[in-house]
Structures are given as structure tokens and as C-alpha cells.
């Protein structure tokens, strides 16, 4: 029941907003209320999954594997809570920072629909349903991206739409081929049947196009071009929402696919994943270094950070067949999960801060910024917390995430990827300090840039509230690292033992499941 609520609440909120079309304040209130409701559900979900184990809901009462199942293990629960946090921050920030006209076009219901779809993707226990949630998420994001219809938005949207649609089609076609080969779409059942094929090469070939499709969504190395071309074009609050959640759905799917479904040749996949992770980190950070606009720099950093998440996954996969390396593999997986938790909070906040900068200065171009420290010291401190955390300065959240990853890499003997990640870390610090010295430090430019749209005190408070909240969460992850680490360990344990997931969805013993009708073959 609680699993269903995670999707129902934002979906219902979106529907109510449509009913209240034209009443923008009501819509904002519904948005915040739904996000709060989702936070409550997510907290319950974390509690329930850690006490009672994996939660499974068979929709419509049809038993698995025939019906469509929603499954929440401890990893899903974490992802849903992160989505809830981002949703709440964005819902509050929208009140102060959404132009009236944009709000009247349905900004709030679209945000809620996207969050519902993201939660749906995190909870789906069925491959085809995952595709449907992906599409719902994409459609909401398409409209959010283009709402307002300014030229850069439209140009960015075309690149975004074309590449993401292509990935959806690859996903859909692969789903069809997988069904034709193994005759099921339920993910737990699929995991069993793919192993039962006893043909690792065939299973991996089925998985490969799926990894490409998820890779495009996650913006990994050869497929990331849509992200820096589009993320800086919509209003900052939309960028923040995208930056926090969209690519992470891709990463989530990559993790699920490689740990649960296509776990037949993990070592081989893991090595490929490590190469992709390294290239993603390096190209992302080099792209960021060459940019001069806050939001463009941050967009490229998303790409680079995705590399870190894949690094943990890759290291864990390469150790799958090594006896005695279970601890190192678990540590690497923990690193990935920890990194995702830290990244979603920090990245959303950095984009929100860029939005606040645009609000007070009218631009996020570093060439015409400067001296924010003297005019807005509080905002500068908030930026410093998040940016140093992103770079991985000790005791902030990013440091622990990177520490775990580096340690796992060293234990696994994957020294080259550790070296790459440390070098990329330095460059991240360099480009964060570039924003700091050029944008926040120094003297304000001679001719003061036209100030952005100024709103009343409540509007400004609504802009600062989520930024402060997310900065506090970053600090909490940093200072409370042991507690967060334990949560990540639990999630990683669920991920590394697919049996947990499979047995929760299909309680009957292997082989006792009646064949799905295959009369056609």
C-alpha cells in the first residue's frame, strides 16, 4: 500500500492542479502539500524496507509474475526519498521563482507528474512498466523544458528530445526482443529466466542495447551531448529538478540491469563500465573547465559526476567472480549509492543557487558577475558549502562519497580508475573555484548588470528556504556520514544479492513457477 502511495500522491496532486487550473496559489499549495506527503511516504518506506525487508505490491491483485508488480527494496526506498526531497525543494522554490505566466501554463502539475513518473521508475518491478514511466517522465520534462518557448529553449529541446526519444525506442525494441526470447517482463522472473537460459553470451547480448538506452538517459560518455545542450536553457528551477533526478533514473536503471537482470557476465560488463566511467568523468570535467557560465559549468559537472557513480558500480561488477573480494565489491557498491545520495542533494542545490544568482544579478555568466560576497554574503556561504562538497573537501558529503569509492578502487586493485577519479576531483575543485573567484569574489562589474525580476519578501524567502534546507542536508550527510553510510551499506547489500529481490517478488522456489503461456512458439 505504502509503495503505491509514492506514485499516487504526486499523481493525484497533478490531477488536482489541473482541476485548479488558473488558480496559481492553490496549485503551489497543492504542489508543496503533495511533496510533503511524498516525503512522509518515503520516510515510511525507508523504515518499512529496513524492518520488514523488500516491499512488493501486486497491482490489481494479479499474482506475480503475471500481474504488474511494484517493488521497493532498500535502494529504491532511498531513491524515492531523494526524489521527495528534490520535489519538496523545487515545489517551494517554484513559489518564489516562477513567473506568473509560466505558472499559468501548468508548471506545477508538470513538476508533480514528473516526480510521480520518477518514483514510478524507481519502484517498477516490470521492464515494460519501467519503459512507460520513462516515457511519462520524458514527456513531462519535454514540456517543462520548452514552456515559455524562447529560442535557446527550443534549440536545446530539439537535441534533448531527439536523443532521448531514440533511447526510448532502443529500450522498447529491446524489451520486445527480451520478451520474445525469455517470455516474461517481470524483473525478478526475468532475472531467473535469463540465468536459466544457461547462455551468458545470449543474455549479455540481450542486455547490451538496454545498457545503451539507459546510458543515453544517464548521459554517459559517448551519449551525453544532449545534456549540456539543454540543461541551461529552461528556468533555473526546472534545471535543478532535471539535474537532481533525470539522469539518476538512468543510473538507477543501469544499476538494476547489471546487478539484477544481466548478471551473467558481470566481470566483462564491469570492465567496460569502468572504461565508460573514466571517459565520462574526464570529458565531463574538461567540458566544464572550458565554460564561462555558471549553469553550463554545472551541467557539464553532472556528466562528470555520473562517471563516479558508474565507477563504484564498475568496480563492484569486476569483482563479482573473484573469491574473497566480497567486501571490496560491497564497498564499491556502497560508494555508488552514497555518491548518488550526496550528488542529488548537492547538484539540485547548486542549480537553485545559480537561479538565486540570476535573480539578484540578472545573469549567470561569469564574465558579468563578481562581488556577490559583498552584496549577498549568505548566498555565497551557501554556494561554498555545496561547491566544496561537490569537489570533495573533507567532512563535507562529497568527501565521504569519494573516500569510499577510492578505497574500494584501491582494495580492488583498480589503480588507474582511482587515479583518474582523483585527477577529475582536482579539476572539479578548480572549476568550482573558478565560479567562486570570478562570480562571488572580487569586485562587482563596473556597469551594474540589470537586476533580475524582484519580488516581495515572501518570494525571496521561498527562494532561500529550499537552498538553506538542501545545504543543511549536505552538512548533515557530511557530519552524520556514519549513519548515512549504514543506510548505503543496507541498500548495497540488497543490490549485490539479487536473490533478495527475486525471493521477495516470487516467494515460491525456483522451478515451481508455472510456465507463462508459450503456446505460440
Partner 1 sequence: MMLLLAVSVGVLFATGTYMMMRRSLVKLVIGLALVGHAANLLIYTGARPLRGRPPLVETGESVPPAPFSDPLPAALVLTAIVIGFGIVSYTVVLVKRAYQDVGSDDLHDYTKTDCA
Return the residues of window 207-236 that contact partner 1 according to CB under 8 A.
228-230, 232-233
Query: Which of 62, 99, 155, 322 touches partner 1 by CB under 8 A?
Result: 155
Q: Does 143 bind partner 1 (CB under 8 A)?
A: yes
> Cβ-count burial of 290 within 10 angstroms (0-12 exposed, 13-18 middle, 19+ buried)?
exposed
Nearer to partner 1, 91 or 206 (CB): 206
Cβ at position 234, least distance to partner 1 in Å: 11
Burial class (CB in 10 A: 0-12, 13-18, 19+), 339: buried
The window from 153-161, 322-330, 482-490, 492-500 that contacts partner 1 (CB under 8 A) reads 153-161
| All three cell numbers of 134 | 520513462
Residue among 95, 157, 241, 273 that touches partner 1 (CB under 8 A): 157
CB under 8 A: which stretch of 35-43, 49-57, 157-165, 430-438 binds partner 1? 157-165
Residue 464 binding partner 1, by CB under 8 A: no
Examine residue 61 and say whether the peptide bond preceding it is cis (omega within 30 degrees of 0).
no
| Dist. CA 240–CA 234, nearest whole Å | 10
CB environment 119-129: b (16+ within 10 A), e (fewer): bbbbbbbbbbb
Spatial distance between the Cα atoms of 142 and 146, rounded to a whole number of angstroms: 6
Contact flag: residue 60 with partner 1 (CB under 8 A): no
Candidate ranges 2-10, 32-40, 168-176, 318-326; the one touching partner 1 (CB under 8 A): 168-176
Residue from 19, 63, 154, 448 binding partner 1 (CB under 8 A) = 154
Min dist CB 135 to partner 1, Å, is: 5
- In whole angstroms, the minimum distance from the beta carbon of 170 to partner 1 comes to 8
Cell of 161: 528530445
Member of 2, 135, 368, 438 binding partner 1 (CB under 8 A): 135
| Per CB under 8 A, 397 contacts partner 1 | no
Give just the sign of the alpha carbon dihedral 124, 129, 132, 138: positive
Query: Of the candidates 190, 100, 114, which has an alpha carbon nearest to the alpha carbon of residue 145?
Result: 114
Between 81 and 174, name the residue whose CB sits nearer to partner 1: 174
Q: Are 251 and 121 in contact (CB under 8 A)?
A: no
By CB under 8 A, the residues from 113 to 132 that bind partner 1 are 128, 131-132
Residue 296 or 301 with smaller CB distance to partner 1: 296
186 closest CA partner among 265, 75, 71, 79: 71
Least separation in angstroms between residue 303's CB and partner 1 is 12
* Cell numbers given for 406: 577510492
Size of the site for partner 1 (CB under 8 A): 46
What angle (nearest 5°) sits at the alpha carbon of residue 83, between those of residues 320 and 155?
Answer: 100
Angle of CA points 340, 206, 323, to nearest 5°: 60
Residue 167 or 247: the one with the smaller Cβ distance to partner 1 is 167
Main-chain phi, psi angles of 262, to 5 degrees:
-105, 65
Q: Which three cell numbers stand for residue 416?
A: 588507474
165 binding partner 1? (CB under 8 A): yes
Supply 93's cell numbers: 522554490
Judged by CB under 8 A, the residue of 443, 509, 512, 520 near partner 1 is 520
Is residue 166 part of the contact set for partner 1 (CB under 8 A)? yes
Contacts of partner 1 in 272-311 (CB under 8 A): 287, 290-291, 296
Residue 29 burial class via C-beta count within 10 angstroms: exposed 0-12, middle 13-18, buried 19 and up: middle
Which single residue is written with the C-alpha cell 561537490?
390
Q: State the residues that interact with partner 1 by CB under 8 A.
A: 128, 131-132, 135, 138-139, 142-143, 146, 149, 151-152, 154-159, 161-162, 165-166, 168-169, 172-173, 175-177, 179-180, 185, 228-230, 232-233, 287, 290-291, 296, 517-521
Amino acid at each position: 500500500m505504502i509503495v503505491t502511495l509514492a506514485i499516487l500522491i504526486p499523481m493525484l496532486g497533478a490531477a488536482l492542479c489541473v482541476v485548479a487550473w488558473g488558480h496559481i496559489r492553490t496549485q503551489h499549495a497543492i504542489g508543496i502539500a503533495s511533496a510533503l506527503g511524498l516525503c512522509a511516504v518515503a520516510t515510511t518506506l525507508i523504515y518499512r524496507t529496513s524492518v520488514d525487508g523488500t516491499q512488493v505490491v501486486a497491482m490489481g491483485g494479479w499474482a506475480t509474475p503475471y500481474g504488474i508488480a511494484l517493488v521497493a527494496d532498500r535502494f529504491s526506498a532511498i531513491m524515492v526519498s531523494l526524489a521527495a526531497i528534490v520535489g519538496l525543494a523545487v515545489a517551494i522554490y517554484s513559489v518564489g521563482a516562477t513567473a506568473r505566466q509560466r505558472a499559468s501554463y501548468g508548471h506545477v502539475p508538470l513538476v508533480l507528474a514528473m516526480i510521480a513518473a520518477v518514483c514510478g521508475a524507481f519502484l517498477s518491478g516490470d521492464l515494460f512498466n519501467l519503459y512507460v514511466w520513462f516515457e511519462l517522465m520524458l514527456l513531462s520534462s519535454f514540456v517543462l523544458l520548452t514552456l515559455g518557448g524562447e529560442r535557446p529553449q527550443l534549440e536545446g529541446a530539439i537535441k534533448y528530445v531527439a536523443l532521448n526519444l531514440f533511447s526510448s525506442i532502443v529500450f522498447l525494441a529491446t524489451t520486445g526482443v527480451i520478451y520474445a526470447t525469455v517470455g516474461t517482463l517481470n524483473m525478478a522472473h526475468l532475472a531467473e529466466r535469463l540465468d536459466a537460459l544457461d547462455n551468458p553470451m545470449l543474455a549479455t547480448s540481450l542486455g547490451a542495447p538496454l545498457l545503451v538506452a539507459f546510458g543515453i538517459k544517464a548521459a554517459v560518455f559517448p551519449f551525453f551531448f544532449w545534456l549540456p545542450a539543454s540543461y541551461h536553457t529552461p528556468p533555473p528551477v526546472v534545471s535543478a529538478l532535471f539535474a537532481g533526478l533525470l539522469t539518476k533514473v538512468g543510473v538507477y536503471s543501469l544499476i538494476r540491469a547489471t546487478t539484477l537482470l544481466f548478471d551473467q557476465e558481470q566481470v566483462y560488463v564491469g570492465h567496460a563500465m569502468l572504461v565508460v566511467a573514466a571517459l565520462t568523468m574526464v570529458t565531463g570535467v574538461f567540458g566544464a573547465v572550458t565554460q564561462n557560465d555558471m549553469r553550463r559549468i554545472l551541467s557539464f559537472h553532472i556528466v562528470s559526476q555520473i562517471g563516479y557513480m558508474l565507477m563504484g558500480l564498475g568496480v563492484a561488477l569486476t569483482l563479482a567472480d573473484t573469491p574473497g573480494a566480497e567486501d571490496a565489491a560491497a564497498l564499491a557498491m556502497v560508494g555508488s549509492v552514497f555518491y548518488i545520495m550526496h550528488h542529488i542533494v548537492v547538484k539540485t542545490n547548486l542549480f537553485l543557487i545559480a537561479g538565486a544568482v540570476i535573480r539578484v544579478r540578472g545573469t549567470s555568466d561569469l564574465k558579468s558577475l563578481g562581488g556577490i560576497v559583498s552584496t549577498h554574503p549568505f548566498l555565497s556561504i551557501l554556494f561554498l558549502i555545496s561547491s566544496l562538497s561537490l569537489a570533495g573537501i573533507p567532512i563535507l558529503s562529497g568527501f565521504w562519497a569519494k573516500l569510499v569509492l577510492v578505497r574500494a578502487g584501491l582494495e580492488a586493485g583498480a589503480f588507474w580508475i582511482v587515479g583518474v577519479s582523483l585527477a577529475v576531483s582536482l579539476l572539479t575543485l578548480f572549476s568550482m573555484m573558478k565560479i567562486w573567484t570570478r562570480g562571488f569574489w572580487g569586485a562587482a562589474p563596473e556597469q551594474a548588470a540589470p537586476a533580475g525580476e524582484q519580488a516581495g519578501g515572501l518570494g525571496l524567502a521561498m527562494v532561500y528556504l529550499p537552498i538553506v534546507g538542501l545545504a543543511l542536508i549536505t552538512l548533515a550527510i557530511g557530519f552524520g556520514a556514519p549513519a548515512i553510510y549504514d543506510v548505503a551499506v543496507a541498500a548495497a547489500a540488497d543490490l549485490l544479492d539479487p536473490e533478495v529481490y527475486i525471493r521477495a517478488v516470487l516467494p515460491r522456489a525456483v522451478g515451481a513457477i508455472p510456465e507463462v503461456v508459450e503456446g505460440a512458439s
